[in-house]
Amino acid sequence: MWELDQILLPFVENDFEHLNKEDQLLFQKLLQYEDIELFDIFVNKIDPIDNEFRDLTVLIIDKHMKNQNGF
**pLDDT, tens digit, 9 for 90 and up, residues 30-46:** 999 999 999 999 999 99
Mean pLDDT of the region 47-59: 94
Q: Cα 16 from chain centroid? A: 10
DSSP 48: P
DSSP 24: H
Mean pLDDT of the region 60-70: 90
Mean pLDDT of the region 43-52: 92
pLDDT tops 90 at residue 15: yes
The whole model's pTM is what? 0.91
CA gap 26, 20 in Å, rounded: 10
Q: Domain 2-68 classified CATH 3.40.50.1370?
A: no
Closest CA to 49 of 25, 30, 65, 27: 30
Q: Read off the pLDDT band of 10 (50, 70, 90).
A: very high
